[in-house]
Structure 1
């Protein structure tokens, strides 16, 4: 290699290293600036609340905000209109501890979070957004689809949901509850389906793979995609589960089968076969039992109940999916229906 080539290679190597240093520095600066601005807005909100006596006083409050807004806008520019000052006030009231603010979240994240009225749901979204590095758009989507409420609809109590938002990977629990990875319904609006188009199961499978990032967001934190149509061979017969995932938080395989119709007993039996095979042939000693989820256009809780009986250790569940984003009212009704059915089945 001649001197010119050596010099060129050395130059490229140094350039790459310098570039990486500058990129990291810029990211650090942006994070620092973001954190400083979020904390500043929190303190502004605190001052406004204290000036109003900590209470909602419409007449005095509005006049105060308008007066402050005019002066701040004149001195600091955009971002300090009365509406944004109200957001800062609500920010302080929603997150009263400054040291609990998450540096991963921007002001636009917090503006979405302060509109969540349920404090537990708000905390859940904040922790998940920080841990999953959600964009503001992803956070708004989860809030709009009532993800927390859907998750809670199939849980025995909120403790199970709270266990999902721990930042550290848990050790294998003595008692594993597979419902920690199931919610109902699943919202799949991101695939772009239209109401007047009938999909085939293979088309839905391909669409979910094409929108894998969005599907993983809908599934929840900790999911890793393992493959589609992964062959299982039993006594010379081949079987092909639609989608296979592994959840690193619960340390369990999750098998998903897609049905463009109402679920029936044969679907449940087939999923039981998949789950049993993975438990015996694929799972490692540190893994929890495999979970099987049948995603269907229409559930059949009675068939599921009679097929599985009273056993809760099998880990096979059916869940409805919506290809079109339902209205807020429709979604709330579906969630409440799921909650009531779950209470009846589980006593």
Structure 2
């Protein structure tokens, strides 16, 4: 008798899904338990609020009583996290089943409520793992999006309260590619970076932003006997358009911008359907002169974006410096006389 192997595949899929669901349910119940424990600790703290250092005494006392019986999950450090968890999320219906306790531990360390709301919404919407959430926080996704967008707009998009209409609302500048494993001091060619991106495509799509899907690599174009090759082609289902990515491992030139504009024009004229939006082009470059980019493009340009890539995550000091530069630039532009 010849057995159909598909039945085994289907049964294994059912088992794996059931196991995953059970793990999620157990983790959520643990998170709810921690929330209630945190609430009880908070109530006890209020009773002794007039006593100096009562909070520290209380968490130490609870850990000493619980850890011998329930294990390291109730160490003093863990009890302090549980207390902070309730203080950060005091409303019961903000404890989402889609978020794990490990993800909440990352979120309670954030010092800004809007930032925390953003990462909660993005994690749920994109089904981020703990590792993905940790990387997005460490790569300062919130701050990078704020550099080119209003706070309210970033939050509204994350919560699905607003539909994206502009590529700059999701495409970041700079883009961090530390996961490629390329070293900034080493020489490499554009094809090496392209291959590294393909190898780490999932991480690259995550860094690009929401809604991206891979279409082609080294897409060949025939134009009146001449051949051209586009590095990478994606489609964004939220913006409903093709997205062309050209890689430049050197400083960006106006010729690079012209080349990408030609590719964008080609896709708009020969690939785009009537119901789709204009094609977007991204120049992923090692260095750029913003003034050259601005002058090389039409004033109402919304389809060509130049974004620098970084092969390492920024330090906190570097991020603060970048934020200050953006603020000073914005203040300067606001002071310029209008004609």
Change in 2 beyond 3 A, CA 1:240/1:345: farther
Displacement of 1:334 in angstroms is: 2.8
1:49 aligned to 2:42?
yes
Equivalent residue number for residue 208 of structure 1: 197
**Is the CA contact (8 Å cut-off) linking 1:184 and 1:335 kept in structure 2?**
no
Displacement of 1:226 in angstroms is: 0.8
SS of structure 1 residue aligned to 2:222? strand
Of 318, 322, 331 in structure 1, the residue corresponding to residue 306 of structure 2 is 318
1:89 aligned to 2:83?
yes
Distance in 2, Cα, partners of 1:285 & 1:128: 31
SS of structure 1 residue aligned to 2:319? helix
Q: Note the 1:211-226 alignment, pairs <5 A.
A: 211-226=200-215
SS of structure 1 residue aligned to 2:282? strand
Distance in 2, Cα, partners of 1:57 & 1:142: 40
Once structures 1 and 2 are overlaid, which stretch shifts more, 129-138 or 29-38? 129-138
Distance in 2, Cα, partners of 1:163 & 1:239: 39
Equivalent residue number for residue 18 of structure 2: 25
SS of structure 1 residue aligned to 2:249? strand
Displacement of 1:57 in angstroms is: 7.3
Once structures 1 and 2 are overlaid, which stretch shifts more, 108-117 or 279-288? 279-288
Distance in 2, Cα, partners of 1:342 & 1:287: 33
> TM-score normalised to the size of structure 1?
0.88
Once structures 1 and 2 are overlaid, which stretch shifts more, 202-211 or 323-332? 323-332
Displacement of 1:309 in angstroms is: 3.9
1:73-127 Cα offsets, whole Å, 9 max, x none, are: 1332221112111111221222222212221221111101111112111111122
Q: Note the 1:1-347 alignment, pairs <5 A.
A: 5-6=1-2, 9=3, 15-53=8-46, 59-155=53-149, 157-166=150-159, 170=163, 176-313=165-302, 315-338=303-326, 340-341=328-329
SS of structure 2 residue aligned to 1:303? helix
Structure 1 unpaired stretches of 5+: none
Structure 2 unpaired stretches of 5+: none
**Is the CA contact (8 Å cut-off) linking 1:185 and 1:334 kept in structure 2?**
no
Once structures 1 and 2 are overlaid, which stretch shifts more, 12-21 or 100-109? 12-21
> TM-score normalised to the size of structure 2?
0.90
Displacement of 1:58 in angstroms is: 6.1
Greater RCO between the two (CA within 8 Å, min separation 6)?
1
1:220-273 Cα offsets, whole Å, 9 max, x none, are: 221111111112233332222211111112212211111111111111111111
Cα RMSD, aligned residues only = 2.5
Distance in 1, Cα, partners of 2:50 & 2:284: 46
Distance in 1, Cα, partners of 2:122 & 2:308: 23
**Is the CA contact (8 Å cut-off) linking 1:256 and 1:295 kept in structure 2?**
yes
SS of structure 2 residue aligned to 1:52? helix
